[in-house]
Amino acid sequence: MMIQGLMTKVSKLVITAFLTGVCAVAFAQDAPPRIAFVNAEKIFVESNMAKAAQSRLQNEFAKRQNEIRDGAQKIKAAAEKLDKDAAVMPEAERIRKQRELADFDRELQRKNRELNDDANQRNAEERAKIAEKANIAIRQVAEQRKIDVIFQEPPAYLNPRLDVTDEVIRVLNNLK
């Protein structure tokens, strides 16, 4: 009986040692994946491509923005004048001026919506160009540093050594 109990303990010990060895070999062969994170929004703001795109967009829409701003100032001045003169103005003229003011305001709002739609569309186009080049830069950084996975959105906490955003921006700035 005692020999049988001893054999059971020895066999359990041998099995445990064997499994421990197998697990150690398995873990030694499969190193944990190397991961990193990149802050996509920072790329869309701080890269040279992003800065150039922002400048192009500002230049492209500056004239229309100024026209809308000037129109808003004219509406404000006309509304103030109408309020001031309404008491001494014939009712028909007051109603006509109110309609003109309302029509001008609607037209200005329409132009503002069109401007916003056009600006949003152009911004999306520029971001798509930046994203295409940024993906090339991300792949280059991953290959250079032998990173298995690069996530685009950092978690609530990120060890700074896992953030490769600045390196990706540097590579992106050097892409032609």
Same-domain check for residues 61 and 49:
yes
Residue 37 parent element (H or E):
strand 35-37
Whether 14 and 64 map to the same domain: the answer is no
Q: Which pair of tokens denotes residue 76?
A: 């404000």
Are both 23 and 90 inside the same structural domain? no
Region 61-70: what's the mean pLDDT?
96
Give yes or no for residue 23 having a pLDDT over 80: no
Most confident of 19-33, 66-80, 156-170: 66-80
Q: How many helices (H) and strands (E) does the chain have?
A: 5, 2
Averaging pLDDT over each range in 6-10, 108-112, 163-167, which range is the top one? Answer: 108-112
- Total domains in the fold of the chain: 2
Residues 59 and 3 in one domain: no
Do 142 and 118 sit in the same domain of this protein? yes
Domain enclosing residue 11, as ranges:
1-31
Distance linking the first and last C-alpha atoms of the chain:
80
Q: Are residues 80 and 163 in the same domain?
A: yes
Indicate whether 50 and 94 sit together in one domain. Answer: yes
68 with 137, same domain: the answer is yes
Residues 19 and 66 occupy one common structural domain: no
**79 plus 143 within the same structural domain:** yes
Whether 159 and 72 share a structural domain = yes
Whether pLDDT at 57 is above 80? yes
Same domain, 39 and 110: yes
